[in-house]
Every structure is written in C-alpha cells, then in structure tokens.
Amino acid sequence: MVKDITIGQFFPGDSILHRLDARMKLVLTFALIVIIFVCKSFFSLGLMSAFVVFLTLISRVPLKTILKSLKPIVFIIIFTAVLNIFYTTGGAVLAHFWIIKITEKGLFTALFMAVRIICLIIVSSLLTYTTTPTRLTDALERLLSPLKILKIEVHTIAMMMTLALRFIPTLIEEIDRIMNAQKARGADWESGSLLSRSKALIPVLIPLFVSSFRRAYELAFAMECRCYRGGKGRTRMKQMKLGWRDFAALAVNSALLAGIVMLNIFFPSVIS
C-alpha cells in the first residue's frame, strides 16, 4: 500500500557501489558529472560511456530499473537531438528538403549530446540507487561541515533534511487518510473544471497544514526533552570511515579523467 513507498529510488543491495562511503560517492559523482562535460571527442565520450556501463554492471541494479530513470527525460533527449540535427550545421550535407538542411555535424552533435545526457542521468541515478537518503544527507552534512566557519548552520540544515525524509511517508499516509475522509463527504477531484478541482484540494491542504504545524510543535518539545540543543557538542553513533574500496574508486576515477584528457588531445572534437 502507501506504506510500501520507499523514498527516492534506493534499490537495496550489497554491491561494491552500495558499500562505498557516501561522502566519497557524492564527491565522485560530482567529479564524474564534470568529467562528462570535459569529454570533447567521440572516443573520450566512448570511454566515459563504457565506464558508465561498467558502473551499472557492478551496481547489480537491474537494467529495467536503470531504464526507468531515463523514462522521464526521453522527451528532453529527443528534443535536444532534433534541435541539434536541424540547427547545427557544418560538414557534408546529408539531406536537404526545402530550407531544412541536415548536415554531418548536426547529426554527430545530436548523437553526442544525447549520449552525454544519458550518461549524466545514469550516473546521478546510480548515486541514489546505491545510497539511502539518510546516508546521503549524513554525507552532505559531514562534507559541508567546514562551512561552519562561514557561520552557515550546516547541522541545522542537515537536521531539517533528515526530519523531512523521516516524515514524508507519514505525511503521505496522512494525505491518503484526509482524502478518504473528504471523499466520504462527497469531495470530488476527478470531475469538473480545473478551477473546481483545484478548489477541491482545499479540504485536503488545510487539515494537512494544521496537522503539520501541530506535529512540528510536538516534535520540537520531544526533541528538547531528549536534550537536543542544536549541533553543539553532539556526537554521532555512526561514524563514516574511508576504506580501501573508496581509495580504489578514487584511483579509478582519476585514471578515467587522465584517459579522457588524453583521448581529447589525440582525437578530433565533435563539439567546440
């Protein structure tokens, strides 16, 4: 039922990717995204794509699930490709009807862009597939903690994120309950004009807001009673430690970057 919803896309597993330190994963994902943009030639992009395929395989996340993450952006991929096919010109002309010219460069650029987007999406998805939202927010908190020097409330922001994650399933259940209760009194979200359907959301949103404020109020008391005083002096039960796998991943990524730079130098660029 609603209770079975897992937040984000986490796919439980025991692969090497699942076991990497979340901080390293965050940093490397970011690095990979940058590296994707560093690729300039088909060969460097080809190496990158091979690496992405490799990551997908070792994550042991089923192909079907990975393809699911691409579904929402299929339209963007096609749109970008089409745009490039028709508007990027250069090199030999492959087809010509009326004022529309399809050139070699257009086709190559379109392909390049499409592959790039796909790599981007898969890399980011792999992060969320192999890391629980909790670990991610933890990792973020620890990575950003040096920012405390700039008086940025890193701990508070991380706490807010954790609480949000904790309460999303609870709130979803509550929305379900409220909707059923209002349905039982004849509320209808399915028929009628857009305006009347939007108005029909009020009997759901208002009770939700009211109860959320009450929740927050009670939660604040409960936290205070457990001696919560913000981030000062707090310790954490779960410690994050980098292991050999994490350094290996770092090494592999660095090698990848080196390889891509080399391929960029020695082979012609597709995009300028």
Partner 1 sequence: MPVISTRGLTHLYSKGTPFEVAAIKDINIDIETGELVGIIGHTGSGKSTLIQHLNGILKPEQGTVLLEGKDIWESKVSIKAARFKVGLCFQYPEYQLFEETVYKDIAFGPKNMKLDEEEIDRRVHKAADFVGLKEELLQKSPFDLSGGEKRRAAIAGVMAMEPKVLILDEPTAGLDPHGRDRILRLIREYRDNTGSTVLLVSHSMEDIAGLVTKVMVLEKSRVAMYGTVQEVYSRRRELLSMGLDVPQVTRIFAGLRERGLNISGDVFTVEQGRRELLRYLGKGAE
Partner 2 sequence: METVDMDENIISFNHVSFTYESEEKVRVPAVKDVSLNIRKGEFVAVLGHNGSGKSTLAKLTNAILIPESGTVLVNGMDTSDEDLIYDIRRTAGMVFQNPDNQIVATIVEEDVAFGPENLGVAPAEIRRKVDTALQEVGMYEYRLREPHKLSGGQKQRVAIAGILAMETSCIILDEPTAMLDPRGREEVMKTILRLNKQMGITVLYITHFMDEAVQADRVIVMDYGSIILDGSPREVFSQVERIKSVGLDVPQASELCFLLRGDGVDLPEDVLNAEECISAILTAVKG
Give the interface size with partner 1 as a residue count (CB under 8 A): 19
Restricting to residues 85-114, which ones interact with partner 2 according to CB under 8 A? none
Find how far residue 231's CA is from the centre of its chain. 27
- Binding residue for partner 1, selected from 8, 13, 169, 203, defined by CB under 8 A: 203
Rounded Cα distance, 45 and 116, in Å: 8
The first and second tokens of residue 243, run together, are 């292991």
Rounded Cα distance, 177 and 204, in Å: 9
Stretch of 73-81, 104-112, 164-172, 190-198 lying at the interface with partner 2 (CB under 8 A): 164-172
- 241 touches partner 1 by CB under 8 A: no
- 258 touches partner 1 by CB under 8 A: no
- 140 touches partner 2 by CB under 8 A: no
Q: Is 260 left (phi over 0), alpha (psi -120 to 50) or beta?
A: alpha
Report the residue number, 111 or 171, with the smaller CB distance to partner 2.
171
Q: 75-99: buried (b, 16+ CB within 10 Å) or exposed (e) per residue? A: eebeebbeebbeebeeeeeeeeeee
Stretch of 24-32, 140-148, 192-200, 220-228 lying at the interface with partner 2 (CB under 8 A): 220-228
Q: Which does 206 bind (CB under 5 to 8 A by kind): partner 2, partner 1, none?
A: partner 1
Report the residue number, 64 or 226, with the smaller CB distance to partner 2.
226
Q: Which does 162 bind (CB under 5 to 8 A by kind): partner 1, partner 2, none?
A: partner 2
Rounded Cα distance, 81 and 111, in Å: 7
- 157 touches partner 2 by CB under 8 A: no
Restricting to residues 1-40, which ones interact with partner 2 according to CB under 8 A? 3
Measured from the CB of residue 68, what is the shortest distance to partner 1 in angstroms?
A: 16
Rounded Cα distance, 60 and 130, in Å: 10
Q: Is 186 left (phi over 0), alpha (psi -120 to 50) or beta?
A: left
Rounded Cα distance, 77 and 50, in Å: 19
Measured from the CB of residue 120, what is the shortest distance to partner 1 in angstroms?
A: 31
- Binding residue for partner 2, selected from 206, 223, 248, 251, defined by CB under 8 A: 223
Start-to-end CA span in the chain (Å):
51
Residues at the site binding partner 2, with contacts judged by CB under 8 A: 3, 132-134, 162-163, 165-166, 169-170, 173, 214-215, 218-219, 221-229, 233-239
